Amino acid sequence: MADRLITSAKELSNSEYFYGHRACAGCGGSLALRLAMKVLGPRIFVAIPANCMSATSFLHPQVAFSVNCMISPFPATGAVLSGIEAGARALGLKDYHVVGFAGDGGTADIGIQALSGAIDRGDRVIYVCYDNEAYMNTGIQKSGLTPYGSKTTTTPAGKNFPGATGRKKDMFEIVAAHGIEYAATASIGYPEDYLRKVSKAALCQSTSYIHVLAPCSTGWGFPVEETVEIAREAVDCGLWYLAEYENDEFVLNKMPKEFTPLEDYLLKQARFRHLKERDMEHIVHGRDKKWEKILKNWK
Amino acid sequence: MPGKKIFISGDEAVAEAVRMARPHVISAYPITPQTVTVERISDFVEDGSLKSEYLHVESEHSAMSAAIGAAAVGARTFTATSSQGLLYMAETLPYASGARFPIVMMNANRTVATPWALLSDHRDSLSQLDSGWMQVYCEDAQEAFDMILQAYRIAEDPRVMSPVMVNLDGFILTHTYEMVDLPDQEEVDAFLPPYRTENRMDLEEPRTVCYASLDEYMEFHMKQEFDMRKARAVIAEVDRDFGIRFGRQYGGLLEKYRCEDADAVIFTLGSVTGTVRSVIDSMRGNGYRVGLVKMRFVRPFPEDEVVDIAEKVKAIGVLDRDLSIGYEGIVFSNVSSSVLRACSAPAMVNYIGGLGGRNISKDNIQEMFLELLRAADGEKGKRVRFVNVGSEYDG
């Protein structure tokens, strides 16, 4: 049971609660789960909808979790978490956490209704969205969190389209707009920031939400040993940001003095390698507009 | 709470039964459509007479998903829905039954769009016949009350461990008032002990539920099927025990009414049963040998009972308030497949009626019986007939 803030990896338990899964080498999502569960400890109920983590970890009898866990219906992570919490409360269980790990599509597309309902009810559950920016489990299809210019199997890049043309939904702010007790963004490239946020979520008395960027070597097209580096660079180049929402305020946790070159980040990844000058400009423009808003409105 | 007789609607009868069954978690979505059952239950939670967690969910899909989550930690759960709402939660029905969670759900039978029509038929629930849920259909509010209590006993029986859908005809049962006998809470507690299960996640001994299984997928469902077959005996057993304790017995999987020496019988589901009973009474008075088979459970299907009936009568009519478009009535298909096992071959006629709430009158039923009696004498007719429609439509 996490009952204090954790700010360093040294404070983590040596116990592993997510072990022996079949995810790809260099999987960012599995790191997000493993670290969060180390913070939350063994007395947890985990719900995971259809995603890479359930596909690679739940195959009876070789389940990769040593804690209580279940697969939720794809659209229903938020509702299943609420049900677990209500059941545990009604049965008088003590000292436990209820946590869900859904991907970007499972959160921002098909699962957004159930997530919104859970926050609305204020059930004491932790919802972690691990964002690898497409439906990776099923073969890299575009989700509502796929960024502009990203090549996926449903947004091919060609003469007419530069890959995905939409704008990545601001899930963090959508969640915050519910007036949630605690929401945060994180990146597995900044693990200590992520751990602190998970431990903070665990201290909440109602719903909390963490949106952690978790690069996918297979879907993004970079060498498997560079996952953490890429996750760091996403923050450093300004395309992702580390922030929190609590007490009705947005707080920026990390203000890069200057952004690292965007092109370096993008061109390392096969999904962006086709981008043309004007696409890059479009992305820079989007980034700068976002930061203008962040700097103006957030603490 | 001492026993009493009160004048309430079918919806309220279900709510009263839920209060006495003491579920840990209620999850309900108020629309698409819903009934006042969940409103009465929320009153009980508010006034403290029902100590349940009440989850206001954002859809029927989430209502069942939340019930699944609660059942996954070993909680007794209840939810209710109807029509489009049932279809919207369809994905989660085999999810719950496959995980062997004994969830009890009330379904107010209403037709499905389009065209939109608000009134009752069975197209909603019968479309979910293959979802691994037991389905029981009630004739009146008292039976609805009694079946909610029985449903928990049956569902939670370790030999069964499968969810139950308790069906009430929308409006005809849900919105009309009747005298309902409410038993004493202590008697209910003795009939329905607290739910205990190993099929749950456990903080002391962590466990996985709702996992994936490729190699044993078939075996999981074979076990589910074998346990559903065992449920037939459990349903009869629970019905007998209920009868001993509360003085009301329903016959288990199905009820036969005046079937002894009958040449022709009609199979019914739900509230139309009462009308058929009264037609039989008056026709019997005129010497017609007619009877009624009230199908109570459609899953598990009362296979042996249907075979037994088929061997004793000359003609069977099945009154379907549904239609599997492109073939025939769903109940008719089910009954027919059991009749094939019988040593004799009664004439079979499917009556499709009451879709979207279309009235089925006593005259309609009498015409069916007369036709069935002619069929019993060897007259050949149509296999599927539409009831109470212009003759030009019954082509």
Angle separating helix axes A28-40 and A227-236, nearest 10 degrees: 90
Q: What is the DSSP letter of A182?
A: E
B52 neighbourhood in chain A, CB within 8 Å: 90
Separation between Cα atoms, residue A252 and residue A182, nearest integer Å = 14
Separation between Cα atoms, residue A265 and residue A77, nearest integer Å = 32
Contact B211 A70 (CB under 8 A): yes
Task: Say which amino acid occupies B127.
Answer: S
B22 neighbourhood in chain A, CB within 8 Å: none
Q: Tens digits of per-residue pLDDT, A204-252?
A: 999 999 999 999 999 999 999 999 999 999 999 999 999 999 999 999 9
Q: How far is CA B89 from the centre of its chain?
A: 17
Separation between Cα atoms, residue A115 and residue B190, nearest integer Å = 40
B202 touches chain A (CB under 8 A): yes
Would you state the pLDDT for residue B33? 72
Separation between Cα atoms, residue B71 and residue B96, nearest integer Å = 9
Separation between Cα atoms, residue A287 and residue A289, nearest integer Å = 5
Separation between Cα atoms, residue A14 and residue A258, nearest integer Å = 36
A72 neighbourhood in chain B, CB within 8 Å: 65, 68-69, 210
Would you state the pLDDT for residue A40? 97
> What percent of chain A has pLDDT above 90?
94
Contact A83 B68 (CB under 8 A): yes
B331–chain A nearest CA distance, Å: 30
Nearest partner of B267 among B288, B286, B291, judged by Cα: B291
How far the first Cα of chain B sits from its last, in Å, is: 57
Q: Are A79 and B57 in contact (CB under 8 A)?
A: yes
Separation between Cα atoms, residue B340 and residue B239, nearest integer Å = 28
B382 touches chain A (CB under 8 A): no
Contact B69 A84 (CB under 8 A): yes
A116 neighbourhood in chain B, CB within 8 Å: 58
Q: Minimal Cα distance from B217: which residue of A?
A: A60
Nearest partner of B348 among B361, B360, B331, judged by Cα: B331
Angle separating helix axes A112-121 and B60-71, nearest 10 degrees: 70
Residue with the two structure tokens 């601001």: A170
* CA distances (Å), origin B330, targets B117, B308, B309, B314: 20, 20, 19, 21
Would you state the pLDDT for residue A23? 95
A22–chain B nearest CA distance, Å: 14
Contact B27 A83 (CB under 8 A): yes
Nearest partner of A39 among A81, A6, A85, A64, judged by Cα: A6
pLDDT of chain B, 395 residues: tens digit per residue: 567 999 999 999 999 999 999 999 999 999 877 789 999 999 999 999 999 999 999 999 999 999 999 999 999 999 999 999 999 999 999 999 999 999 999 999 999 999 999 899 999 999 999 999 999 999 999 999 999 999 999 999 999 999 999 999 999 999 999 999 999 999 999 999 999 999 999 999 999 999 999 899 999 999 999 999 999 999 999 999 999 999 999 999 999 999 999 999 999 999 999 999 999 999 999 999 999 999 999 999 999 999 999 999 999 999 999 999 999 999 999 999 999 999 999 999 999 999 999 999 999 999 999 999 999 999 999 999 999 997 655 54
- Residue in B55, B75, B91 nearest the CB of A91: B75
**Per-residue b or e along B10-27, where b marks 16 or more CB atoms closer than 10 Å to that residue's CB:** bbbbbbbbbbbbbbbbbb
Contact B206 A42 (CB under 8 A): yes
- Residue in B24, B66, B202 nearest the CB of A82: B66
Q: Mean per-residue pLDDT for A154-159?
A: 95
Topology of the domain covering A9-297: Rossmann fold (3.40.50)
Nearest partner of B256 among B286, B299, B292, judged by Cα: B292
B69 neighbourhood in chain A, CB within 8 Å: 47, 70, 72, 79-87
Q: Tens digits of per-residue pLDDT, A126-147?
A: 999 999 999 999 999 999 999 9
Q: Minimal Cα distance from A43: which residue of B?
A: B203
Q: Which of A53-67, A275-289, B198-212 is predicted with the least confidence, judged by mean pLDDT?
A: A53-67
Contact B53 A120 (CB under 8 A): no
Separation between Cα atoms, residue B376 and residue A95, nearest integer Å = 69
Burial (CB count <10 Å: 0-12, 13-18, 19+), residue A221? middle
- In the three-class reduction of DSSP (H, G, I as helix; E, B as strand; rest coil), residue A68 is classed as strand
Nearest partner of B331 among B172, B145, B87, B121, judged by Cα: B121
- Residue in B56, B58, B69 nearest the CB of A87: B69
Element spanning B232, H or E? helix B217-246
CATH 3.40.50.970 is the classification of domain B4-246: yes
Q: How far is CA A188 from the centre of its chain?
A: 9
Contact B65 A43 (CB under 8 A): no
A72 touches chain B (CB under 8 A): yes
A56 neighbourhood in chain B, CB within 8 Å: none
Q: How far is CA B22 from the centre of its chain?
A: 21
- In the three-class reduction of DSSP (H, G, I as helix; E, B as strand; rest coil), residue B326 is classed as coil
B234–chain A nearest CA distance, Å: 27
Domain boundaries, chain A: 9-297
B214 touches chain A (CB under 8 A): yes
Nearest partner of B188 among B24, B75, B20, judged by Cα: B20
**Which one of B50, B77, B195, B210 makes the best mutation probe of the A interface by having the most chain A beta carbons within 10 Å?**
B210
Q: Tens digits of per-residue pLDDT, A30-47?
A: 999 999 999 999 999 999
B194 neighbourhood in chain A, CB within 8 Å: none
Q: Mean per-residue pLDDT for A187-213?
A: 97
Would you state the pLDDT for residue B390? 78
B141 touches chain A (CB under 8 A): no
Q: Minimal Cα distance from B91: which residue of A?
A: A73
Would you state the pLDDT for residue A241? 98
ipTM for the complex shown: 0.96
Residue B383: other Cβ atoms inside 10 A: 12
Topology of the domain covering B254-386: Rossmann fold (3.40.50)
Domains B4-246 and B254-386 share a fold: yes
Q: What is the DSSP letter of B253?
A: T
Separation between Cα atoms, residue B241 and residue A113, nearest integer Å = 44
Would you state the pLDDT for residue A60? 85
Element spanning A186, H or E? strand A182-187
Q: What are B81's two structure tokens?
A: 């829905």
**Which one of B51, B202, B208, B219 makes the best mutation probe of the A interface by having the most chain A beta carbons within 10 Å?**
B208
**Per-residue b or e along B230-260, where b marks 16 or more CB atoms closer than 10 Å to that residue's CB:** ebbebbeebbeebeeebeeebbbbbbbbbbe
- In the three-class reduction of DSSP (H, G, I as helix; E, B as strand; rest coil), residue B274 is classed as helix
Residue A11: other Cβ atoms inside 10 A: 15
Maximum pairwise Cα distance, chain B: 69
B249–chain A nearest CA distance, Å: 33
B391–chain A nearest CA distance, Å: 47
A101–chain B nearest CA distance, Å: 15
Burial (CB count <10 Å: 0-12, 13-18, 19+), residue A10? exposed
Would you state the pLDDT for residue B393? 55
B69 touches chain A (CB under 8 A): yes
- In the three-class reduction of DSSP (H, G, I as helix; E, B as strand; rest coil), residue B156 is classed as helix
The contacts of residue B316 (CB under 8 Å, 6+ apart) are B264, B265, B266, B267, B309, B310, B335, B339, B346, B347, B348, B349, B372
Torsion of CA A234, A235, A238, A242, to 10 degrees: 140
Domain boundaries, chain B: 4-246, 254-386
Separation between Cα atoms, residue B355 and residue B116, nearest integer Å = 12
Contact B52 A90 (CB under 8 A): yes
Residue-averaged pLDDT of chain A:
96
Contact B65 A83 (CB under 8 A): yes
B364–chain A nearest CA distance, Å: 45
**Which one of A62, A68, A124, A178 makes the best mutation probe of the B interface by having the most chain B beta carbons within 10 Å?**
A68
Q: Are A223 and A217 in contact (CB under 8 A)?
A: yes
Q: Are B211 and A71 in contact (CB under 8 A)?
A: yes
Q: What are B14's two structure tokens?
A: 């279900």
Task: Say which amino acid occupies A258.
Answer: E
A86–chain B nearest CA distance, Å: 6
The contacts of residue A187 (CB under 8 Å, 6+ apart) are A193, A194, A212, A213, A231, A232, A234, A235, A240, A242
Would you state the pLDDT for residue A1? 67
Nearest partner of B175 among B297, B13, B60, judged by Cα: B13
A58 touches chain B (CB under 8 A): yes
Separation between Cα atoms, residue B20 and residue B282, nearest integer Å = 39
Q: Minimal Cα distance from A61: which residue of B?
A: B213
Contact B59 A90 (CB under 8 A): no
Separation between Cα atoms, residue A169 and residue B319, nearest integer Å = 52
